[in-house]
Amino acid sequence: MAERVAADPFEELRVGFTAAVSHELRTPLARLLALLDSASLPSSDTEALLEQAKREVEAMAELVDDVLFLSELETGRAVVGLGDVLLAPIVRDVVEALGPSAERQAQDVVTLVAEDSAVAVRPRMLRVVVENLLANAIRYGGDQARITVSARTEGDVVLLSVSDNGRGVPDAELSRLFERFFRGDRARTTRGTGLGLAIVKHVVTQAGGDVEARRGPGGMGLDVRCTFPRRS
């Protein structure tokens, strides 16, 4: 009788991840092909269709970038830890960079960051965390949402939180928000790679911290909280 070979769990993960990436790329590729076909019609608005096609290409490029970055994190090629880095300057830069996106939805972004809050995460990685958290709140918070970015020291940990009072997430979906490519029912109509919060989780956990998602203040919206060990 032939000896059964045990399945390699890492190979299963690789195959599953590859299949998920392929699936995620099919949708923008199909839209791109449809737009290019439409652009060839005599009565088409070629300029508008090409602008839409450009956005589809940008979405695919963003997905590929996120996939490669997540791969670096998972294989340990991307170094997360470093000496203490202050949060306040990075938060200010990210809020300024993403400000126009929030303004287009009439959202109010508030920062409550203690100037001495610092974590042992490389500046590039820390910026990735803040960018993904804020971009997620802007994308899914909804029009006129109030978004709060806060950071402070609480006992033995440093807490970084991005919360909003927007549409929120059903309780059943909260525990799945950090899964790769997971999109809740309310998020399926919006653009995004579905990898932002998965990347956040990898960076935070590799830095020795933890991350959780829960309902926002007053039971409204969403609050994503990252805790990092405080350096003595």
Q: Find out whether 81 and 207 touch, Cβ atoms under 8 Å.
A: yes
CA distance 85 to 121: 6
**Average confidence (pLDDT) over 208-224:** 87
Whether residue 53 is contained in a domain is answered as yes
Whether residue 3 is contained in a domain is answered as no
CA distance 21 to 35: 22
| Whether residue 8 has pLDDT greater than 60 | no
Top pLDDT among 79 and 178 is at 178
Its domain, for residue 28, covers: 9-75
Whether residue 122 is contained in a domain is answered as yes
pTM of the predicted protein model:
0.67
Q: Find out whether 200 and 226 touch, Cβ atoms under 8 Å.
A: yes
**Average confidence (pLDDT) over 210-215:** 91
Q: Are residues 175 and 109 in the same domain?
A: yes
β-pairing verdict for 157-164 and 222-229 = antiparallel
Cβ partners under 8 Å of residue 38, min gap 6: 44, 49
State the CATH number of the domain containing residue 25: 1.10.287.130
The tally of CA atoms less than 13 A away on the side-chain side of residue 215 is 7
140-170, pLDDT tens digit by residue?
888 999 999 999 998 899 999 999 998 888 8
Q: Are residues 55 and 163 in the same domain?
A: no
pLDDT band for 32, please (50, 70, 90 cuts).
Answer: confident
Q: Find out whether 48 and 77 touch, Cβ atoms under 8 Å.
A: no
Q: Tell me, what's the pLDDT at 9?
A: 45
Q: Tell me, what's the pLDDT at 133?
A: 94
| Whether residue 115 has pLDDT greater than 90 | yes
The count of structural domains within the chain is: 2
Whether residue 2 is contained in a domain is answered as no
Residue 93, CA distances (Å) to 87, 99, 111, 170, 224 in order: 10, 10, 12, 31, 20
Choose from 76-90, 101-115, 177-191, 194-208 the range with maximum mean pLDDT: 101-115
Per-position DSSP letters for 134-165, written without gaps between them: HHHHHHHH-TT-EEEEEEEEETTEEEEEEEE-
Scored b (16 or more CB within 10 A) or e, 117-126 reads bbbbbbeebb
Whether residue 80 is contained in a domain is answered as no
pLDDT band for 62, please (50, 70, 90 cuts).
Answer: low
Sign, CA dihedral 207-229-198-92, equals: negative
Mean pLDDT for the chain overall: 78
Whether residue 29 is contained in a domain is answered as yes
pLDDT band for 120, please (50, 70, 90 cuts).
Answer: confident
Q: Are residues 92 and 47 in the same domain?
A: no
